[in-house]
Amino acid sequence: MGQSSTAGTATGAVVPSTISPTALAYAKNVRGISQATLERLDVGSATVFFPELNGQSEALVFAYRTGDEVVNWKAAAFPVKAFTSKKGGRLQFWNIERAAGSETIYGTEGEIDAASLVEAGIPVEQVISVPNGARSRPADAPTELRGYAYVEEALRSGLGRVKRFVWCGDNDGVGLGLRTDMVQLFGPARCHYVEWPEGCKDANDVLRRHGAAALHEMVTNRALPWPIEGVYRLSEVPELPPLTLWHPGFPEWESKVHLAPRTLSVVTGHPGHGKTTLFMQIWYQICRDYGLSAAIASFETRAKPHHRRTLRQLHAGKLEGNLSDREVRAADAWINDHFLWLLHPEQRPSLEWFLDMAEVAVVRHGARIIQVDPWNRLEATRERNETETEYIGRCLRTLHAFAHDMNCHLQVLAHPAKMDASRKGKAPELEDISGSKNWDNMVDQGFVVHRPKFIDENGRNTEAEFYQRKSRFEELGYPCKLKMTFDLQSGRYRSADYPGYAGLNHMPSTG
């Protein structure tokens, strides 16, 4: 190639078509880039004025083209490092006119790094460089304010069809920031990135220190896919710990029903059918057998005297009126150690308040069981234009996340909607719960407590039916119907499925 063009300025049009022997020697001996690569990329040289040097310097000059038109240029001074470009030049990727149709693109932070990739054997039509390097910028600034409008325009104009974008930028702080921006703009699904070896900051460092073959291997075969949480191969899926199972305390049920922390359950049944009483007994038996604590947010059944009476009777195995003073003291001491109540001072609890108090119960007092009874007493905080179904779904997702994050079982007691005449008196389904089918879709377990009759020919009928309508995990059991009876002499439920087991569900008190 011939002598370089004459001097230009930062505002002038410097578009040399030749390159000087000095520039060739610098490119080859200092940067490791051959004359053939420079020619393929139409790189020239010129003597250019650099404002940061306050003077002129010979430079490699990289032309930015749109079609046949040169819309910008960038000059890289040598031997002293400095850069300048055409004032008012168009911002766009360098070499974009060749690369716009490629399915694989290698992006760099500077033109010399892009030329290094071509030197290493990457096709010319697969290499681009950002026009202005990495700069410190506010992370939350709008894209156009960060100078990335040219990226969005290139994506709209054809670059958006790229299937694999390999970022080969610098490993310094601002370079990593630019990498994050490029991933956001191109989309993480198509992005890969290169980690340079120790002692190398960029592609040109690798070319000079390790050679063209090493650089080619690094960017083509060792580029790493941008990590995306949520998509895994089977070998990458972490092994989850097994569920910690709690048997509900009725041996007759065997493995039909279990409860566990990190899960969400719902219990429904017509008012007065015993769902509160039965689950107070189940939680009592679990707390007794496993040494756990429960926190109850009860808005219809009072802690005193109703819950206290139920728990005293469960603890002593007989009705409250038959307890001695010693038995009352022992029961109350046990209740104090194992149960908490969440009571709103103004009787206007919201979901946010409930979760705040539940967190206190878990963190400060070690509660592993959280129950809200009933759901409709929590004040709704529906957002504007949010349907009831959307609201219930949002609440259940929040409750499920709480149960998982806090390693507790969270249970909601919820009334069914008023049923039509054809189904009145029948056990409800989960989808009958007032408000949303999400009560069936989004919980891990769903239970129903139902009494077919309250009175028969013998007087008060104490028979009840307990349904597990849903069990998301097989470890928790399976859908089933279990017969129960309420023992009026001890104030507790007993299983009626296997008469031979009668009484075995009452294990000795640990109080």
The two counts, helices (H) then strands (E), for the chain are: 14, 21
pLDDT of residue 366 exceeding 70 = yes
Convert the pLDDT of each residue in 196-230 to its tens digit.
Answer: 999 999 999 999 999 999 999 999 999 999 988 88
Residues 6+ apart with CB under 8 A from 33: 27, 112, 115, 116, 119, 207
Q: What is the dihedral of CA 412, 417, 422, 426, to 10 degrees?
A: 20
Is 5 a residue whose pLDDT tops 80?
Answer: no
Q: Please check the confidence at residue 499 and state whether its pLDDT lies above 60.
A: no
Q: Domain 91-228 classified CATH 1.20.1730.10?
A: no
**Comparing 12-21, 115-124, 174-183, 470-479, which segment has the lowest mean pLDDT?**
12-21
The kind and range of the H/E element at 412 are strand 409-413
Q: CA angle 133-136-142, nearest 5°? A: 95
Domain residue spans of the chain: 1-90, 91-228, 251-501
Q: Which CATH class is domain 251-501?
A: alpha beta
Q: What angle do CA 266, 389, 360 make, to 5 degrees?
A: 50
Q: How many alpha carbons fall within 13 Å on the CB side of residue 1? A: 24
pLDDT given for residue 420 in this prediction: 59
Sorting pLDDT into bands at 50, 70 and 90, what band is 13? Answer: low
The answer for residues whose C-beta is within 8 angstroms of residue 261's C-beta and 6 or more apart is 243, 244, 368, 403, 407, 408, 409
pLDDT reading at 3 higher than 50: no
Q: Taking Cα atoms as reference points, which of 444, 500, 438, 413 lies closest to residue 257?
A: 444
d(CA 338, CA 56): 82
| Cβ(299)–Cβ(377) below 8 Å | yes
Type of residue numbered 295: A
Q: Are 411 and 363 in contact (CB under 8 A)?
A: no
Question: Is residue 192 scored above 70 in pLDDT?
Answer: yes
Say whether pTM exceeds 0.85.
no
SS3 of residue 487 by DSSP: strand
Query: What are 243's two structure tokens?
Result: 């569920």
* Residue listed under structure tokens 């040289």: 45
Please answer whether residues 45 and 20 qualify as being in contact, where contact means their C-beta atoms are separated by less than 8 angstroms.
yes
Cβ-contact 471, 259 below 8 angstroms? no
- The contacts of residue 63 (CB under 8 Å, 6+ apart) are 15, 42, 44, 70, 72, 73
Q: How confident is the model at residue 318 (pLDDT cuts 50, 70, 90)?
A: very high
Tokens 């959280």 sit at which residue? 370
User: How many angstroms separate the CA atoms of 43 and 462, rounded?
Assistant: 94
Asked whether 64 and 90 are in contact (CB, 8 A), the reply is yes
Q: How far apart are the first and last CA of the chain?
A: 97
CA angle 366, 372, 374 (to 5 degrees): 165
Residue-wise pLDDT for 289-313, tens only, equals: 999 999 999 998 899 999 999 999 9
- Which pLDDT score is estimated for 419? 64
Q: What is the pLDDT of residues 240-259, one digit of tens each?
A: 778 999 999 999 999 999 99
Whether residue 446 contacts residue 416, with contact meaning beta carbons closer than 8 Å, is answered with no
The two domains 91-228 and 251-501 share their CATH topology (first three levels equal): no
From 129, 140, 126, select the one nearest 177 (Cα to Cα).
Answer: 140
Q: Which residues of 87-121 are buried (b: 16+ CB within 10 A; e: fewer)?
A: eebebbbbbbbbbbebebbbbbbbbbbbbbbbbbe
Q: What is the mean pLDDT of residues 322-344?
A: 96
Residues 488 and 318: their CA atoms lie apart, in Å, by 9
In the sheet with 104-108, reading across from the earlier edge strand, the strands are 127-129, 104-108, 164-167, 191-193, 224-225
DSSP output for 250-262: -GGGTTSB-B-TT
Which pLDDT does position 139 carry in this prediction?
A: 45
Residues 6+ apart with CB under 8 A from 481: 465, 466, 467
Residue 135 — very low, low, confident or very high, per pLDDT cuts 50/70/90? Answer: low
Residue keyed to tokens 């806090």: 406
What DSSP assignment string belongs to 125-153?
GGEEE-SS------TTS-GGGGT-HHHHH
Say how far apart CA 87 and CA 74 lie, in whole Å.
10
pLDDT at 501 over 80: no
d(CA 419, CA 425): 9
Check pLDDT > 70 for residue 4.
no
| Pair of tokens at residue 90 | 């168009």
